[in-house]
Chain A
Amino acid sequence: MITALLIFLPLLFAALLLLIRSDKSKYLALTFALAQLGLAITALLSFDKTAGTQFEIHIDWIKQLGIHFHVGMDGISLLLVLLTCVLYPLIILSSFKNKRSASFYALMFIMQTGLLGVFTALDGFLFYVFWEVALIPVYFICLLWGGVNRVKITFRFFIYTLFGSLLMLAALIYIYLMTPGQHSFELADLYQVQLDRMTQGLLFWAIFIAFAIKMPIFPFHSWQPDTYTDAPQEGTMLLSGIMLKMGIYGLIRILIPMTPLGLEDWGTTALVLSLIGIVYASLLAWVQNDFKRLIAYSSIAHIGLIAAGIFSLNTQAWQGSAMQMISHGIYATGLFFVASLFESRTGTRNMNELGGIRLQSPRFNTLFLIILLGSIGLPLTSGFIGEFLLLGGLFQHQAWMAGVAGLSMIFGAVYMLGAFQKTMLGEQRSTVLFQELDTTETITLTIIAGLIILLGVYPQPILDIAGPSMEKILAIIHHTSASAH
């Protein structure tokens, strides 16, 4: 029941927002988002870590085609549901000064339905439906509230991800047609299909590209920097904080268990692409002048590390990726908020025109620094736990790969501290004074910074929630690959 509530309440919220249409929409939206968070926490409290998938709802949807409305949560789903529900209130809080209309928040809630649906769907077709449901609202958010080039950029983003989705749909349908007897879209049934190596290889690529675009992984990333830069602040937060995790989640839930032999043949290629992305995006982040664009590139690098960890296929790397998905969601939201604060206060995100903000705004300085340290993985921040486990897991897989991926430790410090210095330190360069944070802004950033430290000191709950479910999936593939030999 709670899963259905989580998925469908946001639709109700959206409808209510549109009906009421008051100028107090933002408070309403915040209340709704907090209600969702309350639901998610209720789910967490009644979640049994050892019991596998829980809170299941299983109804036939289109019986003739074997399509079910089947949702439920295991540890991995629950984590991402929590991430979504934690970030939503923060994103709404961060939007308070932007004077967003009711329809803006309504779109956000429709998107939440899609996101939570993707993270809980246990039927391949349902997964696809929610996948698209999540895309459309954010497309409109970017198109209607974005920057100057929004039409062209958003169109490219849309076509790009739609192309990926269609590949995935084709692959899912193919596997569906291979299910025995009366076909079924149940994920569990799709996992059972045993295809030959060649076919699995093709399916691997079709599905991988869909997810690689979403995350994105090099070289499927070219939509991302433009879109992130041009999208409105909340849009970027939604895209990077939550939506890209759909891609990572897809790797774990769809790609890897469905094409274990394809993974055997092509997993290393995907891993190497992720590694290239880490170094490539880090180098590019280094030469950016626009702070938001810099964060966009750094996001590619960080996601590359998560993807590399996923393809290392061991418990440590996977738990690291769970941790890093949460952590990245939190600090990316924080950093994009920082970018929007630069822009709204000084009129520019160009770092060469900023400087000396620390003088004017010590509180902002401290909070920004903590979030930044989280993003470069300093110990006792959440970023470290993720990076440590990911690199350690990668090292177990192939030592040299950890060496390459570890370069991000150095590059991350180079470009983030460089950005910090340009914007915060030195003498004031912009003509406009940077005002100290107001209460809402302080609360938003303090929660973000607090979560970063809290999870850095006490990460175990996250690892424990994700662990057993991840081990289960890892066991499936290790089993199939063992029996295939």
Chain B
Amino acid sequence: MQIATYAWLIALIPLMGAILLGLLGKKVNGKSAAAIGSASVLASFVLALLIFFSINSSTQKSFDIHLFNWIHSGSLSVPFNFLLDPLSSIMLLVITGVGFLIHVYSYGYMKDDEGIQRFFAYLNLFIFFMLLLVLGDNYAVMFTGWEGVGLCSYLLIGFWFKNTNYNNAAKKAFIMNRIGDLGFILGVFLIYNTFGSISYDKVFAAAAGFSSGSSIMVAITLLLFVGAMGKSAQIPLYTWLPDAMAGPTPVSALIHAATMVTAGVYMIARSNVLYVLAPFTLSVITLIGVCTALFAATIALTQNDIKKVLAYSTVSQLGFMFAALGAGAFASGVFHLVTHAFFKALLFLAAGSVIHAMSGEQDIRRMGGLRKLLPITYPVFLIGTIAISGIPPFAGFFSKDEILAHVYACSPILYVLLMVASVLTSFYMFRLLFLTFFGNYRGTKEHMHHMHESPSVMTIPLMVLALLSVLGGFIGLPEAWGANHWLNGFLAPVFEQSSGRVNALELSHTTELTLMAFALAGAFIGLAIAYSKYIAKNQVPAEDNNQPEGLYQLSYNKYYVDELYDKVIVKPLHKISESAIAFLEKNVISRSVDSFGRITLNGSRLSRNLQTGYIGFYIFFMVMAILLILLFNRI
């Protein structure tokens, strides 16, 4: 495959873009910065397309490209290699494709920001690290990308660095991710100790010799999953993601919806060979996935910030993906990753367009009736909402339906919970849609005065994403329909080794079709409730000082989880550190040293008394000493 030899360019071009933009700084205007930034990602996208098509048509499905030897120590050898296979090529397309659209959109969104050059430099740097993450052929390169995207996320959440809250959100994101990263890296060490290598091909080949359920496999997979919990915002490490909405909206779309947060899904799909050997871990993943999906959905029900709703929705949708992975349906997880990238990027960007039109207002209680005022944003938002709610033939329906079916085959109880989450999704999304675009306008006159549809540099990416959200599902038409599931076939080589280890979906077509009907009914139930509340009854969520009590309050305050973490972990640690300073440092350790010094000083003071200078005194001692020596010698 000719193109494989140029694969390194895919990652290098955005890096070059980032460095160039960083060095040029304010020497270029916003427009040129946007052009450089977007062009570099577009170039990568073209390369990604070429790679995709050649892999699709080639009989060889995986290509390993050696770049250079990175770390070699003892028997540990970490090459800087890229792996091209169906899974990484799909990821490349999503990252560079959606990434390019978001770059273009960002020009419109950030045009008047004085830091626009810096913004595009960070975005390009992010694309570079994200590409490393999916291109690496071993866990160390993946980890490099993994931490690198964390850094870019930090830089971009805190992009407006004068605001302390934003800075706190950025710091929190980085630290939460680092907690996960510690798990990840310990997992990598255990992989190395177990298999003697951290390159995927060697590890997966060696894993074939391990029996299912061995404790070492459970340990490895759980440790890696801790990393995924951090990066993909699963319980208990999810609280950073809603706060991450402090960043500019294109960042939320690119990093905190479409790409970075799905890295955990990619990592587990990539390590499928290890995961199928640890059924226990798989159950843990499903459980956490389902719980996260449901938990985050219940929070999204009451939020009034347009981006916060979408953020919790992202957490919830990631939960769906993990539920699929845990059920052994790796391809379905990746399928939902792809469709979610389309419709969630669309929703975020459309929300950005709304915020842009509303001069920065994000509270949906101050919106309403924007349908006619934003003639492009409204229909694309509607498309996104339908897609995420799981109404056919839009993208979300197919991928979500697959997940539900797989979870049903695993555990009907978890299926019910996930189904509830799905109904809630439809409800909160239509609630968002109705409150924003329907009813009467509730905002200020000031905002109304400045109201405008976004420029075409923003609306064109929206329309492209809308198209993808409509059609994206067709890459995975259900086999129950007698259709050909293209994505499953394409990804099959990646999951080949593990396909025998997990139970294939053994539902009859009738059951599958029934589940599909349930899912559809669920979506419409959510829609109907939202309609009756916010259209028929014209309700508007209460003001902050007038919130309903009970469960609503609990959900509105996000179950006080942040407060809990603060109280149980942060505050006590802080107290321990403070008292260590006050007690151990100042008293115990220093004092013991000082007393050592004091003993020396006092000792020398005592011995100094002997140096009287009187000859008689010295002679007296000499004689006494001689007497003593003689005395002891005799005995």
Question: A residues engaging B (CB < 8 A)?
Answer: 156, 159-160, 163, 219, 221-223, 225, 280, 283-284, 286-287, 314-316, 319-320, 356, 358-359, 362, 366, 373, 378-380, 384-385, 388-389, 391-392, 395-396, 399, 402-403, 406-407, 409-410, 413-414, 417-418, 421, 424-427, 457-460, 463, 467
**In the bound complex, do residue B186 and residue A402 qualify as a contact, i.e. CB atoms below 8 Å apart?**
yes
B148: Cβ under 8 A from any A Cβ:
yes
Cβ contact of B593, chosen from A222, A319, A320, A457, cutoff 8 A: A222
Closest to A282 in B: B577
The residues in B between 166 and 183 inclusive whose CB is less than 8 angstroms from any CB of A are: 167-168, 171, 174-175, 178-179, 181-182
Least Cβ–Cβ distance between B580 and chain A, in angstroms: 6
Q: Which chain B residue has the least Cβ–Cβ distance from A359? A: B162
CB pair B162 A418 closer than 8 Å: no
Contacts of A427 in B (CB 8 A): 162
| List of B residues within 8 angstroms of A319 by Cβ | 73-74
List A contacts of B25 (CB < 8 A).
Answer: 362
Residues in A whose Cβ lies below 8 Å from that of B70 = 457, 459-460
Question: In the complex, which residue of chain A has the Cβ closest to the Cβ of B177?
Answer: A413
Chain B contact residues, CB within 8 Å of chain A: 22, 25, 68-74, 76, 140, 143-144, 147-148, 151, 154, 158, 161-164, 167-168, 171, 174-175, 178-179, 181-182, 185-186, 189-190, 192-193, 573-574, 576-578, 580-581, 585, 589-590, 593-594, 596-597, 600
Task: Tell me which of A287, A359, A366 contacts B581 (CB under 8 A).
Answer: A287
Is there contact, CB below 8 Å, between A463 and B573? no
Q: Please tell me if the beta carbons of A426 and B597 are within 8 angstroms of each other in the complex.
A: no
Q: Are B69 and A379 in contact (CB under 8 A)?
A: no
A379 touches B73 (CB 8 A): no
Contacts of B179 in A (CB 8 A): 410
Residues of B within 8 A of A399 (CB): 186, 189-190, 193
Residues of B close to A280: CB separation below 8 A? 580
Question: Of A287, A366, A385, A425, which one neighbours B161 at CB under 8 angstroms?
Answer: A425
Contacts of A389 in B (CB 8 A): 71, 73, 76
A159 to B604, CA, bound (A): 14
Q: Are A379 and B143 in contact, CB atoms less than 8 angstroms apart?
A: yes
Distance in Å: Cβ of A86 to nearest Cβ of chain B: 21
Q: Which residue of B lies closest to A417 (CB)?
A: B171
User: Quick check: B72 and A219 within 8 Å, CB to CB?
Assistant: no
Give every chain A residue within 8 A of B76 (Cβ-Cβ). Answer: 316, 389, 392
Most central of A156, A221, A421, A459 by chain B CB within 10 Å: A421
What is the CB-to-nearest-CB distance from A17 to chain B, in angstroms, rounded to a whole number? 35
Determine the residue in chain B with the shortest Cβ distance to A387.
B185
Give the residue of B147, B193, B577 whose beta carbon is less than 8 angstroms from that of A287: B577
Q: What residues of chain A lie closer than 8 Å to B71, measured between beta carbons?
A: 385, 388-389, 459-460, 463
Q: Can you list 27 contacts pairing A with B, beta carbon distance less than 8 Å?
A: A163-B596, A222-B590, A283-B577, A284-B577, A316-B76, A359-B162, A373-B151, A379-B143, A379-B144, A385-B71, A388-B140, A392-B76, A395-B189, A395-B193, A399-B186, A402-B189, A403-B186, A409-B181, A410-B178, A413-B178, A417-B175, A421-B167, A426-B161, A426-B163, A458-B68, A459-B71, A460-B69
Query: Could you tell me the distance between the alpha carbons of A391 and B74 in the complex, rounded to whole angstroms?
Result: 14
Given contacts A159-B600, A392-B76, 6 further A-B contacts (CB under 8 A): A286-B573, A287-B581, A399-B186, A406-B186, A424-B161, A425-B162
CB distance from B119 to the nearest CB of A (A): 14
Would you call B162 and A378 a contact (CB within 8 A)?
no
CA distance A220 to B71 in the complex (A): 34
Q: Which of B162, B174, B594 has the most CB of A within 10 A?
A: B162
Task: Assess A395 versus B72: contact at CB under 8 Å? Given A359-B162, A425-B158.
Answer: no
Are A284's CB and B189's CB within 8 A?
no
Query: Is there contact, CB below 8 Å, between A463 and B73?
Result: yes
Among A287, A378, A463, contact of B578 (Cβ-Cβ < 8 Å): A287
| Minimum CB distance partner of A459 in chain B | B71
User: How far, in angstroms, from A360 to B572 measured CA to CA in the complex?
Assistant: 36
How far is it, in angstroms, between the C-alpha of A460 and the C-alpha of B189 when the chains are bound? 20
Q: Are B577 and A286 in contact (CB under 8 A)?
A: yes
- A358 and B182 alpha carbons, distance in the complex (Å): 30
Tell me how far the C-beta of A420 lies from the nearest C-beta in chain B, rounded to whole angstroms. Answer: 9
CB atoms of B167 and A379 under 8 A apart: no
A391 to B174, CA, bound (A): 20
A232-B576 Cα distance, complex, nearest whole Å: 31
The closest CB in chain A to the CB of B166 belongs to A425
Q: How far is the CB of A36 from chain B (nearest CB, A)?
A: 29
The residues of A that contact B573 with a CB separation of less than 8 Å are: 283, 286
Query: Are B585 and A284 neighbours in the complex by a CB distance under 8 Å?
Result: yes
Determine the distance from Cα of A410 to Cα of B190 in the docked complex, in whole angstroms: 19
| Cα distance A366–B589 in the bound complex, in angstroms | 38
Q: Is the beta-carbon distance between B580 and A418 smaller than 8 angstroms?
A: no
Write out the residue numbers on chain A whose beta carbons fall within 8 Å of the beta carbon of B581.
284, 287
Question: Inside 8 A of B162's CB, which chain A residues have their CB?
Answer: 356, 359, 425-427
Residues of B within 8 A of A225 (CB): 585
Q: Which of B70, B163, B596 has the most CB of A within 10 A?
A: B70
Q: Which of B151, B174, B185 has the most CB of A within 10 A?
A: B185
